[in-house]
Amino acid sequence: MARAVEAFPIPAGLSMITARDRNDPASHRIRFHLSRFERAAPPDPDAGDWAEWQALLASREHAAEAGPRGAMTLAPDQGYGTVSASLIALSARADVKPVWLFAPGASDRGTFAPVEL
C-alpha cells in the first residue's frame, strides 16, 4: 500500500479513471464504457458542448456480467453509489486554461457547472 500520493503523466487522448488504473480493461466499467466515449462526438469545451459525454456519464447501462455496478451512474443502494461526476478538458498548450465541469449528486440528476480554476 502506498503511503504517499503518487503522480503520473496522463498521455494525450481519452482516459477513463476509476478506482483501478487508467483505461484498465480489468474494470467492467472501463471495458464496457470506454469504447462508447471513443465513438461519441468529442466535447467542445470552448463552446460549452459536452452533451454526448454528459449523457454517457448519466448512463445506467452495463454489461450483463458486471451487473448494475458496471454502469457509469450507480444507484445509491447498500450505502454505495454515484455522489458526484466531473468532466475535465486539459490542453497541451500552457496558455489554455483547463476546463472542469462538476455535478454534485448522480450525473443523471445533477447539473454540471464550471469550477473556477
**22 in a structural domain:** no
Task: Specify the pLDDT at position 36.
Answer: 96
**5 in a structural domain:** no
**4 in a structural domain:** no
Task: Specify the pLDDT at position 30.
Answer: 93
**11 in a structural domain:** no
**66 in a structural domain:** yes
> Residue 79 belongs to what domain range?
28-114
Name the strands in the sheet holding 113-114, side by side, starting at the edge strand that comes first in the sequence: 84-89, 99-104, 113-114
pLDDT per residue of the chain (117 residues) written in tens, 0 to 9: 668 888 888 888 899 988 888 999 999 999 999 999 999 999 998 898 999 999 999 999 999 998 888 898 888 776 778 888 899 998 888 999 999 999 988 777 768 899 998
Count of structural domains, the chain: 1
Task: Specify the pLDDT at position 20.
Answer: 80
